[in-house]
Amino acid sequence: MGLGVVGASHVARSRATVASTTPIARLADETGAVVVPRDSPHRTIGDLVAAWRANPARLTVGGGSSPGGPDHLLPMELARAVGISPRRVDYAAYSGGGGDLLPALLDGDVDFAATGFGEFLDQVDAGQLRVLAVTGAGPVDALPGVPTLAASGIDLVFSNWRGIVAPPGIDDADLRRWTDALTALHASPPWRAALRRNGWSDAFAVGDTFRSFLVRQDAAVARLVADLGLN
């Protein structure tokens, strides 16, 4: 599970939230990227933000998530970070994920996308798309020379995450068994290879550290979803 489940639970007004689960382990983070078509007039993230601020309704941002998902929450958080009301963002959701979003980007149906950078790495390498900024805490090896939002003067760090949780009330023996198994997975060469292959960052956390993270995530997403009027 990840950020998408957190958002979906609040959009659906579910009484069950991730904060009520039993955390096992957070495994990885996926950095986002602000991506534009090759011929976009916006050469830098500063160019894009200036045009967006001038007329938010004129720029369409695409994403592979329904409202409440990571591709939706990221541009909303970005808008808020640069002084734009999230309610003024023209967001186009492509329910098929990156597979449907890619043609929209290439054809210019959307002006930019804010999504996991691994979705379109082949098209970036081929020169069909350009990445203006990455959204994580640091630069991405696969995207040399691409700045972070923070390095571009935007006070936002955003990433999707992957983790394992269990139902509430599992017994201590089961919790230890799952925690031990995922700790062993985290230390294994195949997992390290999977992190590199997918462009994920190691974000391993268990126990109270992961529990506190889930509580903070749940509260932050709940506030944003409420601000957007989605619940």
Q: What is the mean pLDDT of residues 3-14?
A: 89
> Once rounded to an integer, what is the mean pLDDT over residues 118-125?
88
Give, in order, the Cα–Cα distances in Å from 74 to each of 99, 108, 147, 161.
Answer: 19, 20, 17, 13
Rounded distance, CA 202 to CA 28, Å?
Answer: 5
pLDDT, tens only, 126-183: 999 999 999 999 998 889 999 999 999 999 999 999 999 999 999 999 999 999 999 9
Distance CA 115, CA 92 (A): 13
**pLDDT value at position 71?**
92
Does the pLDDT value for residue 105 go beyond 80?
Answer: yes
**Which H or E run contains 221?**
helix 207-227
pLDDT beyond 90 at 82: yes
Percent of residues, the chain, with pLDDT higher than 90: 75
What is d(CA 101, CA 120) in angstroms, rounded to the nearest whole number? Answer: 10
From residue 158, alpha-carbon distances to 33, 125, 137, 155, 164 in Å are 10, 23, 8, 10, 20
Which of 110, 108, 117 lies closest to 39 in space, CA to CA? 108
Instruction: Please report the domains of the chain, with CATH numbers, ordered by start residue.
Output: 3-28+160-227 (3.40.190.150), 30-152 (3.40.190.10)
Model confidence pLDDT, tens digit, residues 52-70: 999 999 999 999 888 899 9
Query: Whole-model pTM?
Result: 0.89
- For the cut 70, the answer to whether the pLDDT of residue 113 exceeds it is yes
Determine the pLDDT at residue 178. 97
82 close to 154: Cβ distance less than 8 angstroms? yes
Pair of tokens at residue 151: 């390095």
Share the mean pLDDT of the chain. Answer: 93
Quote the pLDDT of residue 116: 87
- What is the tens place of the pLDDT at every residue in 205-230? 999 999 999 999 999 999 989 988 88
**CA distances (Å), origin 99, targets 109, 125, 210:** 14, 17, 32
Tell me the average pLDDT across 88-103.
85
CA–CA gap between residue 141 and residue 197 (Å, rounded): 12
| DSSP at 147 | P
CA dihedral 18, 19, 22, 24 (to 10 degrees): 70
